[in-house]
C-alpha cells in the first residue's frame, strides 16, 4: 500500500538522493495504490497511471493531502481496513 510521489513532477526541484525515475514494470503480487485527489506530490491522474502500470488496485480517498506522518497522519482507522483488502 503506497501513496506514491511523482519524482518527475515539476515541484521536485531538490535532489532526491537514491531515487530515480519511478519504475513502471508490473508488480507480480497483489498491490494497492491509495491516492488523494489533492496530494501535492502526485496528481490523481499520475497515481492512477502508476497503478495501471503496476497492475495495482487504485483507491482514491478524496481530499487527504499527501498520505504520510508529515501531513498529520498518525493513527488512520481507514488504513487497516484498506489493508485487509489485500488478503
What is the per-residue pLDDT across 42-68, written as a single tens digit (0 to 9) for each?
Answer: 899 999 999 999 999 999 988 888 877
85 pLDDT more than 80 = yes
What is the pLDDT at residue 75? 75
- CA dist 36 and 28 (Å) reads 24
Write down the domain spans for the chain: 32-84
Segment 2-40, tens digit of pLDDT? 667 777 777 766 666 656 677 889 999 999 999 989 988
What is the pLDDT at residue 60? 93
Contact 57, 82 (CB under 8 A): no
Whole-prediction pTM? 0.78
Amino acid at each position: 500500500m503506497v501513496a506514491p510521489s511523482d519524482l518527475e513532477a515539476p515541484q521536485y526541484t531538490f535532489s532526491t538522493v537514491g531515487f530515480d525515475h519511478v519504475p513502471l514494470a508490473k508488480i507480480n503480487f497483489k498491490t494497492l495504490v491509495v491516492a488523494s485527489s489533492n496530494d501535492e506530490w502526485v496528481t490523481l491522474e499520475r497515481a492512477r497511471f502508476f497503478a495501471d502500470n503496476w497492475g495495482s488496485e487504485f483507491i482514491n480517498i478524496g481530499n487527504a493531502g499527501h498520505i504520510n506522518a508529515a501531513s498529520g497522519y498518525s493513527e488512520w482507522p481507514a488504513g487497516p481496513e484498506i489493508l485487509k483488502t489485500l488478503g
